[in-house]
Amino acid sequence: MDRIRIVGGNELHGVIPISGAKNAALPLMIASLLTDDTLTLENVPHLADVEQLIRILGNHGVDISVNGRRERQGESYARTVHFTCRNIVDTTAPYELVSKMRASFWVIGPLLAREGKARVSLPGGCAIGTRPVDLFIEGLQALSANIEIDSGYVNATAPAGGLIGARYTFPKVSVGATHVLMMAATLANGTTVLGNAAREPEVVDLANCLNAMGAKITGQGTATITIEGVRSLSGARHRVLPDRIETGTYAMAVAMTGGDVILEDTDMALLDTALEAIRRAGAEITETNSGIRVVRNGAGIKPVDIVTDPFPGFPTDLQAQFMGLMTMAKGTSHITETIFENRFMHVQELARLGAKISLSGQTAKIEGVSRLKGAPVMATDLRASVSLVIAGLAAEGETMVSRVYHLDRGFERLEEKLTRCGAHVERVSD
């Protein structure tokens, strides 16, 4: 099994190309189930989760081809992928596939909208919390779907004439449920209004793609999204937006080590709140013609308190990375997690490097230390794993991160991108 070996102490200097967003690519890929025409997606990242979803969509009858690789310094960092689903050959998403990736549950919306039925395995819990699917079920029921849960599967059927538009207000903000109901409502009869909807850029990206396919969606990016149902959708060509989580992660890496890096092909507007927190920690962040420049020269890291919140708040997917940065701040900081329970599992691993962190409920108190020391650590989930990389970049000596398959789910060529900027990072195969 692969591990990542890091020898800390090097500043970062150079250019890091930012990949297409995994969290945008997955729902966009699933949207291909809504049409029998070809949906072409540009800037699709090469990640384990993307490859798993390709296998899942193939099970439903989606034909997939890849071309138009974009070369960058001799390596491919993006792909153009064509998705064509002439006929849905299977409306069942089995446990053995859904259990490997929660986002695969989202196929329930397009399958139900296009075929009038879907049988999708419950995804179960995950490392960072239970993340129940009750909002998905309640929302689809609001669109007149009949839903029964039996033997670990959600069995959903639409009325004879198809789903029926309705007003549904989410009791709490859910990005996944917003994706699913928005996709399902595109082919429903009548108008659907989603209240307290997620405002994340990935939701906006999906809505824009669906509109390019012929949907009639307005209000994306606000808390109220309106979808006027249409009879059918066509194909389209759409570019996946830059990965704001990857952008923030590398910005924090520069803030941690010091240096001067251009984050290329990304957009500051995607993560204003996170970038402002990194500025408060002592980094200079400016917009350039090609992306974002992050600089930290000499001065130490300042302590910053943050609270995770739905967009436009501080992203929960950057919480672990920011904690890694705060471990060497000159003072005490606090991080409060409001989105997921059990999302502090990286605390014990950071402590192995010498971090001083204490927990009280959903708040972590981080007392900055003057130095970290490399040690063997273990990744517990996708975002926790990269927080260990950030800490390891500044730690004295060698840090060995195991279970890096978590990293491969969401960070494209991480060790190559960091190495090109002067970090000592390498993948080790046992």
Q: Which amino acid is at 37?
A: D
CA distances from 161 to 117, 145, 185, 188, 365 (A): 12, 11, 14, 9, 55
Token representation of residue 275: 């970038």
Q: Which of 85, 126, 209, 421 is catalytic?
A: 126
CA distances from 23 to 178, 363, 379 (A): 13, 26, 20
Torsion over CA: 20, 245, 213, 208 (sign): negative
Q: Please list, in sequence order, all residues whose beta carbon lies within 8 angstroms of the beta carbon of residue 13, skipping any fewer than 6 positions away.
A: 259, 260, 261, 421, 422
Inter-residue contact 227 to 192 (CB < 8 Å): yes
CA angle, residues 30, 77, 313, in degrees to nearest 5: 60
Inter-residue contact 387 to 320 (CB < 8 Å): yes
Main-chain phi, psi angles of 404, to 5 degrees: -75, 0
126 in catalytic set: yes
> Which residue, chain included where needed, has tokens 């969606």?
217
What is the rounded distance in angstroms from the CA atom of residue 332 to the CA atom of residue 320? 16
Helix ranges (DSSP H) in 213-327: 244-257, 272-280, 319-326
Active site residues: 126
